Amino acid sequence: MLLGIVEFIILACGLITTFFPDEVDDSLDSSTPTGRFSSDLGRWPTDFSADIQPVACASHNDYWRKEPLFSALRAGCTGVEADVWLFDQDLFVGHSTQSLTPERTLRSLYLDPIFKILGSQNSISAFHPSSDIQPSGVFDTKPSQTLVLLIDFKNDGDAIWPYVSDQLQPFREKNYLTYFNGSSVIEGPITVVVTGNAPFSSVVANPHYRDMFFDAPLALMDKVAESAIPVGASVPNGNPADAVRSTIPSTRSDGDQGQGQSGSAPTNPSIYSPANSYYASVDFRASIGFPWRGHLSSQQKEKIRMQIAGAHARGLKVRYWNVPSWPKGLRFYIWRVLVREGVDYLNVDDLHSATKGNWGWGRKGPWWSGPWRFRPSTTS
């Protein structure tokens, strides 16, 4: 009888974990800030992230976490997302205007802490007297790893642009930013990607120097075979937006366009390249659809393959957002499929699961066909 009760409790806990992942996942993220990073970066120059292995995941709506930025870095995420609003000549971070507060700005939550971390990672001392070499990134275990800061422009994109650019100036002066020099892309510790209502015209305005890259529309990338501009080709006046006129219908709207769907973006996929874009993103549910039968159909998988192939042909990193998060087993199944098909970044809310599982390995059946075991992540 006692054994039966124990087995029932174990089964019940497993069901809760599967069908209510968010509640369980939240318990893995401390209910109160740990203070491990924000108060003191450590007494050794580069020990801030000495025990952290970077993983190809992006922290979705990162500012909602108990410790914005630091929770993601502690988990090993190599991308974080901040939604920004321009009010009173400053940039505030939040999902909606109701959630904005004077203390939560782009500087206070992201730029100032990142700058402090990089200062610690690149300190000048008697042992290291020169700053002429390529600066190190935030991960001590992989100094060459860039951290992607995705900035989602929520209101007037044209008005937000100069404020973001001005606030990035200290990073430019320290050579901390990934940039395009007119002929090639030089990767730095921080790669800034702009999305939402970000204006593509501002991204490509300077043909000789860019350090804010676009979030290209992944939904268009299966059309790459129909496009005409190879990666690296010269375009009129250095502005790719003037190079080609596409027959693909525009999705311009006056509202918030969403990531990878900016109404300011050209609708010809051949426009996009590493010279102006980094991610290629799309809303998974809107583009691929929900796997109503518990697994992705052959048509859905083929669409994913075509989008990924098109984005990679343009030299872009693929990221799907709004992947179904419930049930938990279904989410894991979709992550495995996406990684197996070549997605470059998992866009995640559950940092613990995303960074501890090896999503390139596992069962190939539907999500309910478990059990399955996850090997420790070796992604770097």
**Residue 29 placed within a domain:** no
Return the pLDDT at 293: 84
Range of 3-12, 22-31, 222-231 with top mean pLDDT: 222-231
Tens-place pLDDT, residues 195-229:
999 999 999 999 999 999 999 999 999 988 555 45
Question: From CA 201, how far away is CA 278, in angstroms rounded?
Answer: 16
Question: From CA 331, how far away is CA 254, in angstroms rounded?
Answer: 32
- Where are the alpha helices (H) located in 91-188, listed in sequence order? 106, 112-121, 157-167, 169-173
Tens-place pLDDT, residues 31-83:
344 555 555 554 455 566 778 999 999 999 999 998 999 999 999 999 999 99
Tens-place pLDDT, residues 241-269:
444 333 333 333 445 556 656 556 899 99
The answer to whether the beta carbons of residues 150 and 279 sit under 8 Å apart is yes
How many domains does the chain contain in total? 1
State residue 259 phi and psi, 5-degree precision. Answer: -70, 135
pLDDT class for 356, splitting at 50, 70, 90?
confident
**Residue 186 placed within a domain:** yes
Return the pLDDT at 230: 56
Q: Is the pLDDT of residue 152 over 90?
A: yes
**Residue 126 placed within a domain:** no
Token pair 């007119």: residue: 182
**Residue 9 placed within a domain:** no
pLDDT class for 375, splitting at 50, 70, 90?
very low
Pick from 311, 349, 360: which is nearest to 80 by CA?
A: 349
**Residue 18 placed within a domain:** no
Strands of 67-211 (E only): list them: 77-87, 90-93, 147-153, 179-180, 185-186, 190-196
Strands 212-217 and 277-283: parallel
**Residue 140 placed within a domain:** yes
The answer to whether the beta carbons of residues 184 and 117 sit under 8 Å apart is no
Least confident of 6-10, 144-148, 274-278: 6-10
Q: What's 213's domain CATH number?
A: 3.20.20.190
- Structural domain harbouring 348: 47-121+134-232+239-369
**Residue 25 placed within a domain:** no
**Residue 36 placed within a domain:** no
